[in-house]
Amino acid sequence: MGWRFQLKRSRMLWDLGLLLPALVFGGLLHPELTGELDDCFCDVESIDVFNNFKVFPRIKKLTEKDYFRYYRVNLKRPCPFWPDDGHCSIKDCHVEPCPESKIPVGIKSGNYNKYSQVANLMADMTECEQANELGAINSTLSNQSKEAFADWARHDDAQDHFCELDDETSPDAEYVDLLLNPERYTGYKGPPAWRVWNSIYEENCFKPRSVYRPLNPLAPSRGDDNGEGFYKWLEGLCLEKRVFYRLISGLHSSINIHLCGDHLLDEGWGRSVWGPDLQEFRRRFDMGETKGEGTRRLKNLYFLFLIELRALYKVVPYFERAIVGLYTGNSREDRATKELLLELLSEIKAFPMHFDEKSMFAGHKMEAKTLKEEFRLHFKNISRIMDCVGCSKCRLWGKLQIQGLGTALKILFSEKEIQKLPEHSPSKGFQLTRQEIVALINAFGRLSTSIHQLHNFRLLLEEKR
């Protein structure tokens, strides 16, 4: 790493007032978990400091707000790929839906509440006027034609989505309080869990047929190799396909850190005790036990963090519009939530080492379009695999984090639409539903928590030495 880069990094940390804490964080988990990340111009240490001191405290407060703690999800959708194994019978797999009486009135009144009450009223009036104008025409259409138009509309709406969305109008869709159903180790493991991750890696990560080694980074490798042969094919992929694999690997690593950081330690005397499990963490990430792959897994987590960070940077103009509110029905709470979100976004805008996505899909126009569509469909397929997770709590957090990442990708590929947003027209141009906003912020919050938990594991490892 050249001296100019070192100087720039030190200057950035100094500007943040965090140079001394950065040196404290120097006791890294792995000797190799340091320096610049592949495919982007940023280093691990800068992300550690920025996240743990600037992002994590704010995102934690934000996800505790009413607007972000209630997530509507259908946990009863059948697995579309193989016979259902049945739901996990372990008590910690259970998800407790939120009683209707506990849901803020502005949230349960409908997903259209993306704006202020005034904007909602205007939107409702516009819809009524359109309905009156089109009523005479619609009455001449056959039922078959109406169904075809509805199908076309759903198809058009789905073109920007990178994941399979739940039907929020389904009677099986329920609101869940994320704070009362935290992501943590539930005991769900074995063949059903392996089948989900193997399907994600083997069928959706652009694996060449010539590669016989399992893509699942937690699968046992063949022979005594340290993964170098496996990663040669990855380096040979185009940037887009390499990024896709790293996103999935980063998400997998993040989830595993959550499970290790909030592990079931004891069930004595009728109560469960949860906390960090250092032995489980070592099994999944230690250099020796993973034959050198632990560092790669963790670097992919940092890479995913940068991707979602970049999406939040890109979507700032959308949230800065006065007309875009975070509506729950409590005006004081809503203003405080919006202010906290803008405060977080302001910190993100100040970060100087963002991922540059302009190099993606930048080749020949038709080739780039085909590759982007392939990229989108692979990711959408992964979102459908989430309905095959047998543990309800794992399914909940898997669906939420996949939708959050899918929303981040939607933002990254909608830059021109975001830049053209009209200030006072809530129904035109780029849009995010409440469900997408909740998933985006909570998914990023999970990544921020993972990096923060890494610091805690570093301290535990230091104590054991």
- Distance between CA atoms of residues 249 and 235, nearest Å: 15
- Encoded amino acid at 335, one letter: R
- Distance between CA atoms of residues 331 and 22, nearest Å: 39
Considering the candidates 98, 205, 388, 391, report the single residue annotated as catalytic. 391
**Residue 74 dihedral angles phi and psi, to the nearest 5°:** -105, 105
Instruction: Please give the annotated binding residues for FAD, written as ranges.
Output: 184, 186, 197, 249, 252, 284
How many CB atoms sit inside 10 A of residue 350's CB?
Answer: 13
391 is a catalytic site residue: yes
Please state the three-class secondary structure of the chain as a single string: CCHHHHHHHHHHHHHCCCHHHHHHCCCCCCCCCCCECCCCCCEHHHHHHHHHHHHHHHHHHHHCCHHHHEEEEECCCCCCCCCCCCCCCCHHHCCCECCHHHCCHHHHCCCCCCECHHHHHHHHHHHHHHHHHHHHHHCCCCHHHHHHHHHHHHHHHHCCCCCCCCCCCCCCEEEEECCCCCCCCCCCCCHHHHHHHHHHHHHHCCCCCCCCCCCCCCCCCCCCCCCHHHHHHHHHCCHHHHHHHHHHHHHHHHHHHHHHHCEEEECHHHCCEEECCHHHHHHHHCCCCCCCHHHHHHHHHHHHHHHHHHHHHHCHHHHHCCCECCCCCCHHHHHHHHHHHHHHHHHHHHCCCCCCHHHCCCCCHHHHHHHHHHHHHHHHHHHHHHHHCCCHHHHHHHHHHHHHHHHHHHHHCCHHHHHCCCCCCCCCCCCCCHHHHHHHHHHHHHHHHHHHHHHHHHHHHHHHC
98 is a catalytic site residue: no
Instruction: Please give the annotated binding residues, written as ranges.
Output: 184, 186, 197, 249, 252, 284
Cα-trace Rg, the chain? 23
Beta bridge partners of 324: 115
Question: Which residues are marked as active site?
Answer: 391, 394
